Amino acid sequence: MPDIRVQVRLFASYAEAAGRDRMDVVLRAGATAADCLAAVRAAPWAQRVPPGPALAINRRYARGDAPLHDGDEVALIPPVAGG
Amino acid sequence: MREWLTERAIDVAELLAAVAADGNGGTVVFLGTVRRSAEDGDVEAIEYSAYREMAEPELGRIVAEALAQWPGARIVLQHRLGVVPTGEASLVIAAAAPHRADAYAASRFVIEETKRRAPIWKKERLASGRARWVEGRPAGGER
């Protein structure tokens, strides 16, 4: 099965550490949100990203074992402070 | 579709008008305001940022959940983004219902869920000119 491409969205302290607010990640077919997170954390700037940030797929919170599909948007959500 | 996020100062009267109805017996207005306390140091303002494309629907889901729990309630909110000076409101929730118990409960539900789930972050702007990210809480999904 072909690889899938997802767009990763970064925010707040993560975006600052990365120097960017989005990046494309290519994963093998059948990859999960956790696989995407692991790929992002492999980057040198990603020491600031804790092992378990909240994750969102297509603008809804998702668990690490949620499957990804080509074209999905995956967001790494740092601890929130709204309200 | 109501706009939950704004870059402007929040107009409380506008939100009150949006929930006004003859059937209301009680209306609760909550203001979350930027505060400065001794341990925070010289905080002059807080800059709010958001994952806008998710914050809008997530706030909409929170309000929808409140309306499902307290049918007959009327609820609106606005969260401000950008730089909010100390003393000004970053979030206003207006909740009205035929009976005050539901208005209080719905208001409380919405603020607690907003704090738990909304993908919004804040950065303190200090008098010294420095800025620092405020440590948040791990974001939760729906219960």
Strands (E) in B1-143, as ranges, are 5-6, 26-33, 43-50, 74-80, 82-85, 89-97, 120-126, 131-133
Per-residue pLDDT, B41: 73
- Per-residue model confidence as pLDDT tens digits over B21-53: 999 999 999 999 998 876 667 889 999 999 999
Q: Which of A52, A60, A81 sits opposite B134 (nearest CB)?
A: A81
Average pLDDT of the residues in A54-82: 97
Cβ atoms of B131 and B124 within 8 Å: the answer is yes
Span between the terminal Cα atoms of chain B, in Å: 24
Q: Distance between CA B69 and CA A27 in Å, rounded?
A: 41
Domain residue limits, chain B:
5-133
**Which positions in chain A touch B53 (Cβ < 8 Å)?**
59
**Residue A15 located in a structural domain:** yes
Q: What single string gives the DSSP state of each residue in A22-47? A: EEEEEE-TT-BHHHHHHHHHTSGGGG
The token pair at B121 is 């972050």
- The better pLDDT of the pair B57, A51 is held by B57
- Per-residue model confidence as pLDDT tens digits over B66-106: 999 999 999 999 999 999 999 999 999 999 999 999 999 99
Evaluate if pTM is beyond 0.90.
yes
**Residue A83 located in a structural domain:** no
- Per-residue model confidence as pLDDT tens digits over B5-22: 999 999 999 999 999 999
- Per-residue model confidence as pLDDT tens digits over B106-136: 999 999 999 999 999 999 998 888 899 998 9
Q: Which residue of B lies nearest to A80 if distances are taken between CA atoms? A: B136
**Residue A82 located in a structural domain:** no
Distances (CA, A) of A44 to A18, A48, B97: 9, 10, 53
Average pLDDT of the residues in A59-74: 97
What is the bridge-based pairing of β-strands B74-80 and B82-85? unpaired
ipTM, two decimals = 0.93
Chain A, 54-83: which have a CB under 8 Å from a chain B CB?
54, 56, 59-63, 75, 77-83
Of chain A, the percentage scoring pLDDT greater than 90 comes to 81
CATH code at position A62: 3.10.20.30
Cβ atoms of B43 and B82 within 8 Å: the answer is no
Q: Output the CA angle B3-B5-B8, nearest 5 degrees.
A: 105
- Domain range spanning residue A71? 4-77
Q: Distance between CA B87 and CA A66 in Å, rounded?
A: 42
Tell me whether residue B118 is exposed, middle or buried, using C-beta atoms within 10 angstroms of its C-beta: 0 to 12, 13 to 18, 19 or more: buried
Domain B5-133, classified CATH 3.30.470.20, yes or no: no
